[in-house]
Structure 1
Amino acid sequence: MISVPLFGGDLRRLTDLEVRHMVLLLAALVLQILVIEVVPGAPLWIASTAHLVSYLLAGAFLYVNRRIPALWLIGLGGAANFAAIAANGGRMPASASAFRSAGLRAEDGVEGFVNSVVLAHPRLLALGDVFAIPQSWPLSNVFSVGDVCIALGGAVALHRICNSRLTASMSRKRGARKPAHLGKK
């Protein structure tokens, strides 16, 4: 968010954004928090199903808000993550080397549900958590190509909505009319 004013954008433009069916995104977030943080000891089939359902809810939210700039890129990242998770029974496959680099232990995912786990025979591992923020850095963790798309899509959307110089050429190509994703203020 700090980069928006640095590139001449106006964060107040976010208040004009028309976001529809926010309850879908909130429900997805609540499900993720429940299965990962609140009840990680839930039966694996329940946690895995809830994890998959959370992605479907988030996908529905993205679909109904598809007019918002760059949401397609966030959706692409979510779809990549969903594909990897669905192909592996509701859990994101992770590479053992990425886990080691981030200072995580592969055996952390053996007991109970975790959203990312090193599996013996993962499917679609290339879409899984194969990248790492090293253990020596703050916020060390593993992440996927889908996560990169989600982060990049969020940044592009923020800059487009706030009309920063960073994405000004994208906005000019669309013409001078008011974007459809903004309210009628």
Structure 2
Amino acid sequence: MFLEALIIGIIIGYILKGSLKNFEDIKLKALYLAVGAFFVEFILFSLVRRGILSRGYLTTLIYIIEYALIFLFIYLNRENKYILIMGFGFLLNALAIFSNGGAMPVSAKAAVAAGLAPSIDAVRASSEGLYVVQNEGTRLCFLGDIIPKTYLRHYVISIGDIIAAIGFMMFIIQGMKGKKTN
């Protein structure tokens, strides 16, 4: 979703006569925290996909570290309204994940609508192991992956994903326009 937000943001930025060179003027504090958080997520998902780790206390601890890095980056850059919007999206995702034992709940109905399974009965938790199919015990299910996405790539997204992607796209557009993004 962030790659799409990046591409759309760049296209809109150019339409509005912006330039990527204007990003030289953007001052972000501790960008390494955000990069580190996404690196931690990449490692976590890689280990789970390969069967080296399975969901449990260790994966939840790693998620806590990832989100701590993200939220520290957001706090340090809190004067930037678009970073705050991204942070709100990440917060919504964190609430869904941590209230459900360290796994993002996924709507079976949305998974079918996205073409990920032939029927609701056929929906199973992802091979990544960090997702669970929503059921009657799911907490904050409306914050889980409930929106089917069928263009470019088929998957299910959350309200938090959309809000974070909008914040990222707006950050790109404003950065390209060369205006302060505060």
Same fold (TM over 0.5): yes
Instruction: Work out which of the residue numbers 68, 71, 76 in structure 1 matches 2:88.
Output: 76
Distance 1:37 1:117 in 2: 18
Q: Which amino acid aligns with 1:118?
A: V
Tell me whether 145-154 or 34-43 shows the greater mean CA deviation. 34-43
Q: Is the 8 A contact 1:44 1:112 kept in 2?
A: no
**Larger CA Rg, structure 1 vs 2:** 1
Matched, 1:65 2:77: yes
1:130–1:142: 8 Å Cα contact kept in structure 2? Answer: yes
**Which moves more between the two structures, 72-81 or 119-128?**
119-128
Q: Which moved more, 1:66-75 or 1:139-148?
A: 66-75
The change in CA–CA distance for 1:11 and 1:112 in structure 2 (over 3 A counts) is closer
1:122 aligns with 2:138: yes
- 1:61, distance to aligned residue in structure 2 (A): 0.7
Map 1:85-96; keep pairs closer than 5 Å.
85-96=97-108
Paired residue secondary structure (1:107) = coil
Code of the residue aligned with 2:55 in structure 1: it is L
Normalising by the residue count of structure 1, what TM-score does the alignment of the two structures yield?
Answer: 0.79
Structure 2 residue identity aligned to 1:96: A
What residue number does 2:173 align with? Answer: 159
Aligned length: 164
Q: Percent identity, please.
A: 26
Structure 2 counterpart of 1:167:
none
| Equivalence for 1:138 | 152
Q: Which residue of 2 aligns with 1:44?
A: 55
- The one-letter amino acid paired with 1:24 is L
Q: Measured at CA, do residues 108 and 125 of structure 1 come closer, stay the same or move farther in structure 2, by a change above 3 Å? A: closer
TM-score computed with the length of structure 2 as normaliser: 0.80
Cα 1:180/1:84, change in 2 over 3 Å:
closer
Q: For the aligned residues, what is the CA RMSD?
A: 2.1
CA distance in 2, matches of 1:180, 1:6: 18
Preserved CA contact (<8 Å) 2:81 2:181:
no
C-alpha contact 1:73 1:149 (8 A) present in aligned 2: yes
CA distance in 1, matches of 2:124, 2:23: 42
Match of 1:174 in 2: none
Give the equivalent residue in structure 1 for 2:7.
none
> SS of the residue aligned with 2:78?
coil
Please tell me the residue identity of whatever aligns with 1:123: R
Specify every segment of 5 or more residues in structure 1 that has no aligned partner in the other structure, as ranges: 165-170, 172-178
Distance 1:180 1:122, change over 3 A: closer
- TM-superposed CA distance for 1:180, in Å, is 8.2
Which range is displaced more, 155-164 or 52-61? 155-164
Q: 1:107 aligns with which of 114, 124, 129?
A: 124
Q: Answer yes or no: is the 8 Å Cα contact 2:174–2:181 preserved in 1.
A: no
